[in-house]
Structure 1
Amino acid sequence: MNKPKPLALPNPVNANPSFDAEHTLYVAGTGGGKTSAVKHLGLIPKTAQAVFFDPYTNYAGNKFQGQMCHGTSSRLIFVKSLVMARRRGGSFKLAYIPANGATGGELEFFASVVWSVGNGRASRLYTVIEELASCVETSGKLRGRAGELLRGGRQYGLVVHSIFQRGQEVPKTVTEQSSVWWVGAVNSMSDAQWIADKRGLDVNTIATLKSAKVNKQRIGKPIAEYLLIRDGIGNIEHKALNCQSGSTLNLNYR
């Protein structure tokens, strides 16, 4: 069977190396609050242009910080909608719902389209990739356009937000190129140790984070404890997020 020909898409334009490194990752186990953090913490500005790889429709058909996120499973409609939205220049929220689910081929299509609309003189385009680990088969270098988004996207105004459950399962390109880490409750001590080693943290600080799932059972509220780690020594926030209301809390919420 013949493979489909790759899309004939343009390259990004107007490289601008002055953009800050803002790639962000979210790592936590099931019920850890990852998607709620994307929606509520404001790491993606309210007025942003944002596009979502949305296999589980976490965004499509819902409002994202007050603006409706329109979704489509049609590749053609996705391409046309994104190109037109970028031309208009205002804020928008657009989700691609991959018909084949979270696969490498679907991610490569999505990343190729996003890469093609990069423009160092236009508004930044925030790019959210849900379930990244399901789409890749290596913890080494992330290849293809998805890897290029992380390695070269910054200078074209492309800011990648990657979401996954275990850091060991994603390519090192993702962890090495992401300057901001949001860390929620993880599934095991080995997961906590991996994060601690990567970011020079006390493993117990990570291991004792409580998930929204645990807190819902414990106190009746879906509150996810998290660490927000930025570049620079000691640049860490240790707080909690009410995943239902979106409000940020201090750790004395108990």
Structure 2
Amino acid sequence: MAINPNTAWPNLHNLYLAASGGGKSQAIKQNKEIPAQGARVVAWDVDEDHNVRHFDSRPAFARALLSACKSGRGFRIGWAGAGDVGTFEWFCQLVFAALDGRVKTHVLIEELADVSPSAGKATPAFGQLLRRGRKYGAVIHAASQRGTEISKTVYTQCSRHWVGIQEGVDVDRMARLCAVPPDLIKGLKPLQFLYKEAGKPPVKRQLNKPGK
């Protein structure tokens, strides 16, 4: 169970939305709020997009996460096994139990739509991580190609939205989310994002090319 609740932690959850090739993973990698060294990072990373120590065995992943938390040092651990909804719920339960309100834990979630059964309420363990993780130091970084295919809970619980290139009906929805004209969304190129923080106007951000 998560320990040391601290209600002073702000909501720093991020949602990254962009069509294939838009640069979602790069946006997470280039987010300077995730320290390159010393941070606690745990990732749902079935396609192994991130520089973390990957596991595809539940017992091995659980042991590694427990050991890393006990060490008191930073770590980068990722799940690269089965990508079904049941496994994702197990992952979220384990991550929530590993949280410690004395320190931030960055939780990277790639291809969220793949483990979202509907656009309604979030699944129980993921919903708990979204709603209650903040006061235990969780900072969620969730990425998806289609904003229309993920739970509405994610939108309400993430205070920061990164909107990249969009297709079809997602253009208008993302325009409303960022409070900008649809043409501004249509004009985005790969590695370009509108960054919208709660209560502030959107800011256009250009990412570096991979390896730069």
What TM-score does the superposition give when structure 2 sets the normalisation length? 0.95
| Aligned-partner Cα distance in 2 for 1:143–1:244 | 33
Contact 1:103 1:136 (C-alpha < 8 Å) held by counterparts:
no
1:93 paired residue number: 76
Deviation digits for residues 128-163 of structure 1, max 9, x if unmatched? 111111111111110211111001100111111111
Secondary structure, aligned partner of 2:207: strand
Contact 1:33 1:243 (C-alpha < 8 Å) held by counterparts:
no
Secondary structure, aligned partner of 2:4: coil
| Aligned-partner Cα distance in 2 for 1:141–1:231 | 21
2:125 paired residue number: 145
| Aligned-partner Cα distance in 2 for 1:46–1:57 | 18
Cα displacement (A) at 1:94: 0.6
| Aligned-partner Cα distance in 2 for 1:144–1:154 | 16
2:146 paired residue number: 166
The structure, 1 or 2, with the larger RCO (C-alpha pairs under 8 Å, 6+ apart) is: 2
1:177 paired residue number: 157
Once the two structures are superposed, the pairs formed by residues 180-195 of structure 1 within 5 Å of their partners are 180-188=160-168, 190-195=169-174
Q: Is 1:237–2:175 an aligned residue pair?
A: no
Q: Is 1:41–2:11 an aligned residue pair?
A: no
| Aligned-partner Cα distance in 2 for 1:105–1:22 | 26
The runs of 4+ residues in structure 1 deviating greater than 4 Å are: none
Q: Match for 1:20: what amino acid?
A: P
184, 195, 210: which one aligns with 2:189: 210
What TM-score does the superposition give when structure 1 sets the normalisation length? 0.79
**1:202–1:43: structure 2 CA closer, same or farther, 3 Å change rule?**
farther
Once the two structures are superposed, the pairs formed by residues 33-112 of structure 1 within 5 Å of their partners are 33-47=23-37, 48-59=39-50, 62=51, 69-98=52-81, 100=82, 102-112=83-93
| Aligned-partner Cα distance in 1 for 2:166–2:147 | 10
Identity %: 33
1:252 paired residue number: none
1:136 paired residue number: 116
| Aligned-partner Cα distance in 2 for 1:113–1:203 | 39
Structure 2: segments with no counterpart, 5+ residues: none
Cα displacement (A) at 1:42: 1.6
| Aligned-partner Cα distance in 2 for 1:245–1:76 | 34
Deviation digits for residues 148-195 of structure 1, max 9, x if unmatched? 10011001111111110111110011111000111111122x211101
| Aligned-partner Cα distance in 2 for 1:118–1:93 | 14
Q: How many matched pairs?
A: 211
Contact 1:127 1:160 (C-alpha < 8 Å) held by counterparts:
yes
Secondary structure, aligned partner of 1:242: coil
2:193 paired residue number: 226
Contact 2:89 2:123 (C-alpha < 8 Å) held by counterparts:
no
Cα displacement (A) at 1:243: 2.7
Q: Which has the larger radius of gyration?
A: 1
Cα displacement (A) at 1:81: 0.8
| Aligned-partner Cα distance in 1 for 2:16–2:33 | 11
